[in-house]
């Protein structure tokens, strides 16, 4: 039996966190950068512990106005400080409630930047390792951060269930109409190919080779609960365990 981790970005102000949490095996909790307060983090951690879901911090640029999706012109020191504060806040709340922080997944613009920006990739790796070298870092495929982190941290390569890809492994821009997959059967076909054959099908019908450890469904994707239910049920029918 194959296994795959299903993750979701939560505590971002959406209305369906309680419905999504039982359907996933890992969650990425917004921790005050693009969204979030101590109260929203605490509620998400409690939900994750109740559902036995891996708890991750989802730090970003300190930019709630743009939901962390725009690059900010700040110093590396300032970036490191805000990311550290965000991760430590989730770690502290999780431990106070009797859990353990499992992973870190950068959000938005920062996640996209560390695909190519070596300096920022090294900053993220160094900071995560300093906080807890046992933490797993979620990384994009074929990225600078994946390559640089291999000898320093445990990494999980992440794919996106509800997003189309470009030929360089980047995600199709959200500004384009074809960026997001909404149809649940299309999402399943997209993911099943990733998990069963280690391939991503591009819109021109060509393929990229990539083996994933975790697959993300965004909580703000329209009908995300329906997508995750359908995805989970049909993967299990194909003898693929969510774990």
Query: How high is the pLDDT of residue 237?
Result: 96
Give one DSSP letter per residue of 196-231, joined into a string: HHSEEE-TTS-EEE---SEEE--TTSTTHHHHHHHH
Residues 6 or more apart from 23 whose CB is under 8 A from it? 6, 8, 225, 228, 229, 232
pTM: 0.96
Nearest residue to 51 (alpha-carbon basis) of 75, 14, 17, 76: 17
Domain count, the chain: 1
Query: How high is the pLDDT of residue 203?
Result: 92
Looking up residue 80, the CATH number of its domain turns out to be 3.20.20.370
Give the integer Cα–Cα distance in Å for 214 and 107. 15
Query: How high is the pLDDT of residue 168?
Result: 94
Please, which residues bridge with residue 209 across strands?
A: 199
Query: How high is the pLDDT of residue 4?
Result: 97
> pLDDT of the chain along its 243 residues, tens only?
589 999 999 999 999 999 999 999 999 999 999 999 999 999 999 999 999 999 999 999 999 999 999 999 999 999 999 999 999 999 999 999 999 999 999 999 999 999 999 999 999 999 999 999 999 999 999 999 999 999 999 999 999 999 999 999 999 998 899 999 999 999 999 999 999 999 999 999 999 999 999 999 999 888 999 999 999 999 999 999 999
Query: How high is the pLDDT of residue 201?
Result: 95
Give the integer Cα–Cα distance in Å for 156 and 158. 6
Residues 6 or more apart from 37 whose CB is under 8 A from it? none
Structure tokens at 157: 């390569």
Residue range of the domain that includes 90: 2-242
Query: How high is the pLDDT of residue 1?
Result: 56
């Amino acid at each position: 039996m194959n296994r795959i981790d299903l993750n979701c970005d939560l505590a971002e102000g959406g209305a369906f966190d309680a419905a999504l949490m039982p359907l996933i095996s890992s969650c990425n909790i917004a921790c005050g950068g693009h969204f979030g307060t101590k109260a929203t983090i605490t509620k998400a951690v409690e939900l994750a512990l109740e559902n036995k879901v891996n708890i991750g911090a989802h730090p970003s640029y300190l930019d709630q106005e743009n939901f962390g999706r725009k690059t900010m012109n700040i110093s590396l020191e300032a970036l490191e400080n805000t990311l550290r504060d965000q991760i430590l806040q989730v770690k502290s709340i999780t431990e106070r409630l009797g859990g353990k922080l499992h992973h870190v997944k950068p959000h938005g613009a920062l996640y996209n930047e560390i695909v190519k920006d070596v300096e920022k990739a090294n900053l993220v790796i160094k900071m995560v390792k300093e906080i807890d070298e046992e933490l797993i870092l979620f990384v994009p495929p074929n990225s600078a951060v994946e390559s640089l982190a291999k000898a320093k941290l445990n990494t999980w390569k992440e794919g996106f269930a509800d997003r189309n890809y470009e030929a360089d492994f980047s995600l199709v821009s959200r500004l384009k109409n074809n960026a997001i997959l909404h149809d649940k059967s299309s999402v399943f076909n997209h993911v099943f190919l990733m998990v069963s054959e280690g391939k991503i099908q591009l819109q021109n019908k060509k393929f990229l080779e990539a083996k994933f450890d975790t697959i993300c469904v965004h909580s703000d994707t329209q009908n995300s609960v329906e997508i995750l239910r359908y995805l989970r049920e049909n993967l299990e029918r194909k003898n693929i365990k969510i774990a």
